[in-house]
Structure 1
Amino acid sequence: MNMTSLLIYCFIVTFTPGPTNIVILSTVHNAGAKKAMEYTYGATIAFGLLLVISAMLNTMLITVIPKILIVMQIIGSFYMFYLAYQIYKADTSKSTVNQTASFLSGFLMQFLNPKVVLFTLTVIPSFVMPHYISTSMVTISVITITLIGFLAFITWVLFGKIFKDSLQKHNKIVNVLMALFLAYSGIMIWL
């Protein structure tokens, strides 16, 4: 397994602006870090649950239909290229909408967030299952990816104002670098 590509993919998808991270950032600014942490806990638990569901479904599918892995790798690669394009053209200077943040809203947001749903459906079959299908390795991968997601959420909480200002100041450079790293991860699935 190419750990570098997996880690780059996980870090880029979880740390770059998306619906969950933007709500966390907005909550820090409008309601404080304590309220943002409440939202973060809900988002993290749902993120991990989505990874578990994905791993279970993919494990069942790969044992029943081994060729599905190739399809999932193709979908995963194209999704990464799509995300790279979205990050490249993203405009993070637009203001965010203030939303009520709670544990439940953080939890539910993950199931409605296409970035998270597509990520959780593609990361395990694209990076882990081509090399490992044992329950222990898949479990370790789910836990590791969940922790990376939690670290990303915490980063947005702790450095909310600083991170937002920095992103806005160097928006284009950050987006280009993140897009290039993500495209690299998409290519590395096949090498």
Structure 2
Amino acid sequence: MSVIPFLLYVIVTSITPGPNNIMAMAIANKYGFKRSLNFVYGVATGFLLLMLLCSYFTFSLYSYIPKIKFAMSILGSLYMLYLSFKIMKSALHKNDKDDKDNNDGRWNSFFSGMMLQFINFKVILYGITAISSFIIPFYTSHISLILFSFFLAFVGLAATSCWAVFGALFQKFLFKYEKHFNIFMGILLIYSAISLHL
């Protein structure tokens, strides 16, 4: 396994803006970090369940259709390239106070954080890409799939927690340097995509 490209992909995809991170930041900004933890733990739990599902779904595909490995690595690379350009062009939505006031309360719970994962297209593609491109070509035992699922979920928890801290403390700083941050993350993701085929 190419460890550095794998870690870059996992960290960049987890730490860049997405539904989990934006919601965690908005909730922590409104209610404080401690009160956002139910949502953050819900995200981590849902993330773990989804990574386990992605692991076994991808493992089943590889077991029954061995020729799909090459196609999955190409699709994974293309998705990473697409995601890198989306990240470099993306902008955080500036605080829309009315929208925040109307929506954060109902989202600030363990259950909503967990269920968000099952409608979060970014997380589903993230799991399938990480597992099909970096893990299953090298590790196929049940214990490996479970441990990697826990690792991916842990990184997701760390990233969402960071955004909650940003929401509680540093939101203005994050907005100020958002473009530079996104460009740097996008370049790291392009490197990960290219290194899969070197």
Is the structural similarity TM-score above 0.5?
yes
Superposed, which structure 2 residues align to 1:17-166 within 5 Å? 17-92=17-92, 94-95=94-95, 97-98=99-100, 99=104, 100=106, 101-166=108-173
Give the gaps of 5 or more residues in structure 2. Answer: none
Question: Structure 1 residue 130: deviation in Å?
Answer: 1.3
Give the gaps of 5 or more residues in structure 1. Answer: none
The answer (yes or no) to whether the contact 2:33–2:168 under 8 Å persists in 1 is no
The answer (yes or no) to whether the contact 1:156–1:163 under 8 Å persists in 2 is no
Q: Secondary structure at the match of 1:20?
A: helix
Structure 1 counterpart of 2:76, one-letter code? G
Structure 2 counterpart of 1:27, one-letter code? I
Q: How many residues align?
A: 191
Equivalent position of 1:7 in the other structure: 7
- Identity across aligned pairs (percent)? 34
Question: Structure 1 residue 32: deviation in Å?
Answer: 1.9
User: Normalising to structure 1: TM-score of the pair?
Assistant: 0.94
Structure 2 counterpart of 1:148, one-letter code? V
Structure 2 counterpart of 1:170, from 166, 177, 182: 177
Question: Structure 1 residue 167: deviation in Å?
Answer: 2.5
Q: Which aligned segments of 4 or more residues in structure 1 are displaced greater than 3 angstroms?
A: none
Instruction: Show CA shifts across 1:102-121 (max 9, x none).
Output: 11110111111111111112
Question: Structure 1 residue 161: deviation in Å?
Answer: 4.2
What is the RMSD computed on CA atoms of the aligned residues?
1.5
The answer (yes or no) to whether the contact 2:55–2:145 under 8 Å persists in 1 is yes
Question: Structure 1 residue 136: deviation in Å?
Answer: 2.1
Q: Secondary structure at the match of 1:159?
A: helix
> Structure 1 residues 161 and 33, CA, compared in 2 at 3 Å: closer, same or farther?
closer
The answer (yes or no) to whether the contact 2:54–2:124 under 8 Å persists in 1 is no
> Structure 1 residues 93 and 166, CA, compared in 2 at 3 Å: closer, same or farther?
farther
Structure 1 counterpart of 2:183, one-letter code? V
